[in-house]
Amino acid sequence: MAWHVRVGHGSFVSIGPRVAVRSDPPNSAWTRSRERPTVREVRGQIPASVTTQSLALGLAVFFSALTLHCAAVAAVLLVPWWPLQIGGAFLAGLFLATLFVVGHDACHGSLTPYNRLNKVLSRIAFLPSWTPYASWEFAHNRVHHAYTNLRGKDYAWAPFSKDEYDRLSWRRRWLERHYRSIGGLGSYYMIEYWLRHLLFPSSRERREMKRPVAFPFDFALILIFVTAQICSVCAWSQTLTPGETFWGPFTSVPALLLTVILLPFLVWNWAMAFAIFQHHTHPRAVWYAATEERDFFAGQVESTTHAQMPWWIEWISAFIMQHTAHHVNTRIPLYRLSKSQRYLERTYSDGIIVQPWRFTALGETLARCKLYDYENHRWLNFKGRPTTEPNAIMREFKLRDPCRGGSK
């Protein structure tokens, strides 16, 4: 079967045959179409009944996630031994990630059928992670989803080329090495994404938001929430009697600030980066240097990974690792992503990256995906040595694209 890539607005160029990983289902759009599937064709593989939003389910998911996070925070305050407080702080960070994904769904307008309610729920869900709604909606919904894996536009884990990396200062090169390590994942999200694009976006980004009132309002909400957090912890500390044994609970203000606020926030940062990194970074995933190289199918299907997680991680992550379905249609609610993902993988079995997950798989991806060769479309290590073969589809695209002077 010959594939065709859209070049410009109307023409297509062949990029050669692909070998399916498993047989295609009978009468599928994948089998029938001789051109790369369009947005409508891809979304059409998921029945409308599967993508339906439910008020009852949306509210149930929201209040469940909120309750779990609040219960973990309460445990930190109430348990009688400090090791349990640290364990509670870790759980509070994990459930903060769950609550954020629920807010992320609401920000897309997919949690419930009502947009105004979604915006309210999203703002509430984003408060514990100190995320302004307006800047997240811009950076994620309008930038990341519109320009997935496009260099210069999508800045979520965008890899440097070897030349770009070599031009960095030695400090920035060291930081990039740190970011692409298991320990450095959280540092990346906190510094390069949360601080630079969400909490303190540039003046250009704020202009492009085109909502001059929304961001100051959301930033003020975050400041009010953080102030309330700190004051509450200080007030709670005054009601406690200092522990008399080594294993007693933390009762001082600094220790409670650490376990109630800071530690959950750090755990949340690492969990967020853990998910984002694997969503679009994989030895088979492609990053693009120009808009002419990509289309909807390339960005939302071929460069988006489904990391098959253990059931408990799927549950804590609110099914966001079923990521291809989410990128194909952001209106699919999280409580219907698993079924939607199955429909897509049944049809586009050789186009979707499915990574049966084990912890070593993350290490392998981190080891192989350091820099990116945008000319040959392959991953490199920090010395510039290829760690993957050139992407076959993109190689054929360059050879056959008449705009590049290659063979036809």
Percent of the chain at pLDDT > 90 equals: 78
- The whole-number pLDDT of residue 149 equals 95
Please give the average per-residue pLDDT across 37-60, as a whole number: 93
pLDDT for the residue numbered 396: 59
Per-chain mean pLDDT for the chain: 88
pLDDT score recorded for residue 391: 82
Q: 202: alpha, beta or left, given left = phi > 0 and alpha = psi -120 to 50?
A: beta
- Name the DSSP class of 243: P
Q: Distance (Å, rounded) from C-alpha 100 to C-alpha 62?
A: 10
The average pLDDT across 314-329 equals 95
Neighbours of 170 (CB within 10 A): 7
Place 21 in a pLDDT band, splitting at 50, 70 and 90: very low
Q: What is the pLDDT of residues 264-273, one digit of tens each?
A: 999 999 999 9
Q: Is the pLDDT of residue 289 over 60?
A: yes
Residue range 124-139, pLDDT digits in tens: 999 999 999 999 999 9
Show the beta-strand stretches assigned E in 149-245.
none
Question: What pLDDT shows up at residue 242?
Answer: 85
pLDDT in tens, 221-240: 999 999 999 999 999 999 99
Q: What is the average pLDDT across 281-293?
A: 92
pLDDT, one tens digit per residue, over 53-82 is 999 999 999 999 999 999 999 999 999 999
Q: To the nearest whole percent, how much of the chain has pLDDT over 70?
A: 88
Token representation of residue 96: 């903060």
Residue 7 scores a pLDDT above 60: no
Is residue 403 predicted with pLDDT exceeding 60? no
DSSP β-bridge partners for residue 321: none
Place of tokens 């496009």: 150
Residue 392 has pLDDT above 80, yes or no: no
> What is the rounded distance in angstroms from the CA atom of residue 86 to the CA atom of residue 264?
9
Q: Read off the pLDDT band of 366 (50, 70, 90).
A: very high
Residue 25 pLDDT: 38
Would you state the structure tokens that stand for residue 175, as one six-digit string? 């930081």
Q: What is the pLDDT of residues 142-159, one digit of tens each?
A: 999 999 999 999 999 999
pTM score of the predicted model? 0.87
C-alpha span between 158 and 156 (Å, rounded): 5
The strand pairing partners of 373, in sequence order, are: 378
Residue type, 109: G
Give the pLDDT of residue 243.
75
| Banded model confidence at residue 398, pLDDT cuts 50, 70, 90 | low
User: Distance between CA atoms of 278 and 255, rounded to whole angstroms?
Assistant: 33
- Residue 216 — φ and ψ, nearest 5°? -55, -35
237-249 pLDDT, tens digit each = 999 988 778 899 9
Task: Output the pLDDT for position 1.
Answer: 35
Cβ contacts of 13-21, under 8 Å, gap ≥ 24: 13/397, 13/400, 13/401, 13/402, 13/408, 14/396, 14/400, 15/393, 15/396, 15/397, 15/400, 16/392, 16/393, 16/396, 16/400, 18/350, 18/393, 19/350, 20/349, 20/350, 21/349, 21/350
pLDDT digits (tens, 9 = 90+) for 167-182: 999 999 999 999 999 9
Confidence at residue 351, expressed as pLDDT on a 0 to 100 scale: 87
